[in-house]
Structure 1
Amino acid sequence: MYENFAHVGGVLATRLRDLTTDLSALDGPGWWAVVVDYEGKVLCARFDEVRRAPLPAPATSWRGPDPAAWHSSLDQAAYERGVETIRRYIEQGEVYQANLCRVLSATLPGRPDATALAVRLAEGNPAPHAATVRVPGLTVVSASPELYLSREGDAVESRPIKGTGVTKDDLLDKDYAENVMIVDLVRNDLGRVAEVGTVSVPMLCEVEEHPGLVHLVSAVRARLAPGHGWGDLFAATFPPGSVTGAPKSSALRIIDELETAPRGPYCGAVGWVDGDRRRASLAVGIRTFWIAGDVIRFGTGAGITWGSDPRREWLETELKAARLIALASSAPSGEDRT
């Protein structure tokens, strides 16, 4: 078992060399695992040994909290009041859309191996941007379906998700409108650091199937203008538009007013940067667990528009969390899911 490692994109990185909070380090050499909190706390971990390999075998089976032990930073009544507050802000013209999130937390029994949780998620909820990062002081296990930023040289792409249902038939006109709003926001964000005329939208409102639900996904591409590095790219685009709202500045203020717990890696960025090859893939930190000390946390949320129904939005947060929380909770007596 490795004390410190990252597994992302089918690559296993070991032999941790150093840690930094400086995003400009990503413009230099080396392979980096990256975790950036929604609140902007940066952790970049450079590893010396990087190879294609499966997840390491866990030392023990996963033993998570009791399913009833999870506590939400916002209960249903508080969440629904938050939805109504956002609708009033929309009525007043202060914002068009804002993401309202809550954080679930529980105390872990003993010191389970988070690699076993990663294996369980890989089997029970495979995700295109799954990642596990374990470094001193923090463990992140993500089953994210959403691409925040990929990079090939100076070419960058973001694939925002907006719109969630059990099936395609559950998606509403509100979901499509919300997706288009966020695409416009992402276009504007990337346009701040892109060569003039290179921002494009090659995919708009495509339906993607994921375990237990469907999402509406779009793609925005651009080419970085000369002289812009990772610090500039994050300054222009972070936090991701799909988990904030539009206009972003107003949405951020409203989120700060209504949410009662820091989001941490949830709604931040989790992934890798290869400075030698100028390649990268960073996911939006949704469907993401993080562990510090003996506490495990998981975030869930929904995008609120004028057409939002408070109870339906609460149920959307439940839908997004249900499968993952079940996988991370303790197995019924006599059952071992790992």
Structure 2
Amino acid sequence: MSEPGPKNDRTAAGSAALPTIRELLSTDLTIESAIGCFADCDGLLVFDSADADRPGASQAGRYSFLTADPVRRFDLQHAEYGTDPFAELHQLSEAIAMCEPGRHLPPFSGGLAGVLSYELGGCFEHVRPARIDEFGFPAMTVGLYDWAIVWDHTNDSVESIVHDFGASAAVPQSMSAEARAEWIRRRVSAESNFAALPAASASQIEPDPSVLHPHAEIANVFSDHPAAEYREAVGRVIEYIRAGDIFQANLSQRLLTPFRGDPLNFYSRLRTGNAAPYAGLAHFDDWWLLSASPESFVQLDGRDVVTRPIKGTRRRQLTPEADLGVRIDLECSEKDRAENVMIVDLLRNDLSRVCTDESVRVPKLCRLESFATVHHLVSEVTGTLNKDRTLWDLLAATLPGGSISGAPKVRAMEIIGELEPTVRGPYCGNLFYQGFGGQAAANILIRTILCRGGWAQLPVGGGITMLSDPQAEYQETIDKAVGMLAALELV
């Protein structure tokens, strides 16, 4: 175990150097205990490689990050077609880029980070959202952060990193770097542990009665689609496919359950029972977002872009023999492979809008990957960003993700808005960061729960193709919900 103590590493002063303070922390500081230390802070964000110890876990799972208390916030309540939701972030990114940090920093040690909703795609595509929105989740919530705690799972180290913006008018800090470093020390010390969560908000959201149907199989759970209605919606998607409107669409149902518990205990159970490489947590205002996502949306390193769509799911089985059987079934499934390939083609097209044409490649197609509760087929599409393009251009070209909308994307989004009665909010949106070194990453917020106003909301869905069986598609949504329902102690 490394001993806690200061290891101040101020970047040498240069014309554009961004000074930093780096301190090693005790490796006894786990992600869960650190969340407790900052639970009362607004803007708490965690990027959690919760399956870093999984056999075959990728390099993407090397780091986990925690930050809170942003120096600036950028909020957009509603998406409006034709507007640029990233206008201020474009300008701020340019200002930050002039303050180049020291070398050898992890991908995120502060920078821009937050949550993008599925409905934010309405800024880029002229599509009406679903008709019911009781939870009022913002289209976008982003913070500018001057610090982070970083877990390096490869080197088994934990450190805090604080950046000093100095007198920059673009990024005014609420406290000096030295004061911020001391604030972190106090927070993580044994004498100042905020493991007891502040009292939950007294506000109560009243779900629309027209979309509050008791679930036939799970007590104390409600759906916006009764089972028969969901199967009918699958049939409608198949009719649209036969008519030539689309090749596939991602259809979901929203599950709700009353929730007045402790989100931190809930997240602890979720990340333990559903370890995933792109898990995370966000807490702003009166809402908590808890995710055990297995899916990366985009990663940007310099100009190199990677996206890893998931299509194809089977529930893990109790015995090795049965588990092998469902693995083979998934790998041989014509329907699932066709679904995956269609989304790969869509993402190739999306990346070609902002990447050099000759650079877009598919190095991996329909590879089977296994997670705590399910097996998935995963592909990989890569490209090289054009020199005049930025992360924000990349997001504008690709939101919402093809794997959770459909192909062609715009028509699929229109059909989703027609058949799903409630807005998705954070579900199928993104938890993202852009670090000071220029690296960026975003997940797809699936296997994700929103806690707000006395309810836990956990939507689940799947891709519908010509070969879909309505009952099998309904069962797939339940399979995807099992891990979250278990964390809520409902199954």
- 3-state SS of paired residue (2:69): strand
Q: What is the CA distance between 1:57 and its match in structure 2?
A: 7.3
Q: 2:226 aligns with which of 69, 75, 86?
A: 75
- 3-state SS of paired residue (1:39): helix
Q: Counterpart of 1:45?
A: 143
Maintained 8 Å contact 1:31/1:50: no
Question: Is 1:20 aligned to 2:74, yes or no?
Answer: yes
Letter in 1 for 2:71: R
Q: Counterpart of 1:6?
A: 45
Change (3 A) 1:100 1:17: same
Maintained 8 Å contact 2:278/2:294: yes
What is the 5 A alignment of 1:281-320? Answer: 281-320=441-480
User: What is the distance in 1 between the residues matched to 2:388 and 2:376?
Assistant: 35
- 3-state SS of paired residue (2:434): strand
User: What is the distance in 2 between the residues matched to 1:300 and 1:16?
Assistant: 31
Moved over 6 A (4+): 54-57
Q: 1:92 aligns with which of 240, 243, 266?
A: 243
- 3-state SS of paired residue (2:386): coil
Deviates more, 1:40-49 or 1:297-306: 40-49
Q: What is the CA distance between 1:299 and its match in structure 2?
A: 1.1
Q: 1:230 aligns with which of 381, 387, 391?
A: 391
Deviates more, 1:10-19 or 1:145-154: 10-19
Letter in 2 for 1:48: D
Q: Counterpart of 1:139?
A: 288
Q: 2:372 aligns with which of 198, 207, 211?
A: 211
User: What is the distance in 2 between the residues matched to 1:47 and 1:107?
Assistant: 33
Change (3 A) 1:179 1:202: same
Maintained 8 Å contact 2:270/2:483: no
- 3-state SS of paired residue (2:378): strand
| Residues 165-191 of structure 1 deviation map (CA, whole Å, 9 limit, x = unaligned) | 133133221000110000000000011
Letter in 2 for 1:15: D
- 3-state SS of paired residue (2:229): helix
| TM-score w.r.t. length of structure 1 | 0.90
Q: What is the CA distance between 1:135 and its match in structure 2?
A: 1.6
Letter in 2 for 1:38: Y
Q: 1:157 aligns with which of 299, 302, 306?
A: 306
Q: Report which of the two structures shows the higher radius of gyration computed on alpha carbons.
A: 2
- 3-state SS of paired residue (2:228): helix
Structure 1 residue ranges without an equivalent (≥5): 332-338
Higher strand share: 1
Q: Counterpart of 2:102?
A: none
| Residues 131-188 of structure 1 deviation map (CA, whole Å, 9 limit, x = unaligned) | 1111224321110000001110111111000001133133221000110000000000
- State percent identity of aligned pairs: 36
| TM-score w.r.t. length of structure 2 | 0.63
- 3-state SS of paired residue (2:423): coil
User: What is the distance in 2 between the residues matched to 1:250 and 1:284?
Assistant: 20
User: What is the distance in 2 between the residues matched to 1:288 and 1:139?
Assistant: 11
Maintained 8 Å contact 1:101/1:300: yes
Q: 2:407 aligns with which of 240, 246, 260?
A: 246
Change (3 A) 1:76 1:58: farther
Maintained 8 Å contact 1:153/1:279: yes
| Residues 197-243 of structure 1 deviation map (CA, whole Å, 9 limit, x = unaligned) | 11111110000001121000000111111222233212210100000
User: What is the distance in 2 between the residues matched to 1:330 and 1:308?
Assistant: 28
User: What is the distance in 2 between the residues matched to 1:221 and 1:121?
Assistant: 31
Letter in 2 for 1:269: N
What is the 5 A alignment of 1:112-127? Answer: 112-127=261-276
Maintained 8 Å contact 2:45/2:114: no
Change (3 A) 1:223 1:57: farther
Q: What is the CA distance between 1:15 and its match in structure 2?
A: 2.8
Deviates more, 1:276-285 or 1:226-235: 226-235
User: What is the distance in 2 between the residues matched to 1:113 and 1:326?
Assistant: 15
Letter in 2 for 1:39: E
Deviates more, 1:322-331 or 1:216-225: 322-331
- 3-state SS of paired residue (1:318): helix
User: What is the distance in 1 between the residues matched to 2:111 and 2:274?
Assistant: 27
Q: Counterpart of 1:261?
A: 422
Letter in 1 for 2:409: K
Letter in 2 for 1:122: R
User: What is the distance in 1 between the residues matched to 2:221 and 2:66?
Assistant: 31
User: What is the distance in 1 between the residues matched to 2:360 and 2:234?
Assistant: 33
Q: What is the CA distance between 1:86 and its match in structure 2?
A: 0.8
Q: 2:344 aligns with which of 160, 175, 183?
A: 183
Q: What is the CA distance between 1:78 and its match in structure 2?
A: 0.8
Q: What is the CA distance between 1:192 and its match in structure 2?
A: 0.3
Question: Is 1:35 aligned to 2:115, yes or no?
Answer: yes
Q: What is the CA distance between 1:196 and its match in structure 2?
A: 2.3
- 3-state SS of paired residue (1:68): coil
Q: What is the CA distance between 1:58 and its match in structure 2?
A: 4.0
User: What is the distance in 2 between the residues matched to 1:169 and 1:287?
Assistant: 24
Structure 2 residue ranges without an equivalent (≥5): 1-36, 49-63, 76-84, 97-109, 121-138, 152-157, 159-187, 201-217, 316-325
User: What is the distance in 2 between the residues matched to 1:124 and 1:33?
Assistant: 26
Q: What is the CA distance between 1:115 and its match in structure 2?
A: 2.2
User: What is the distance in 2 between the residues matched to 1:118 and 1:46?
Assistant: 24
Q: What is the CA distance between 1:31 and its match in structure 2?
A: 1.7
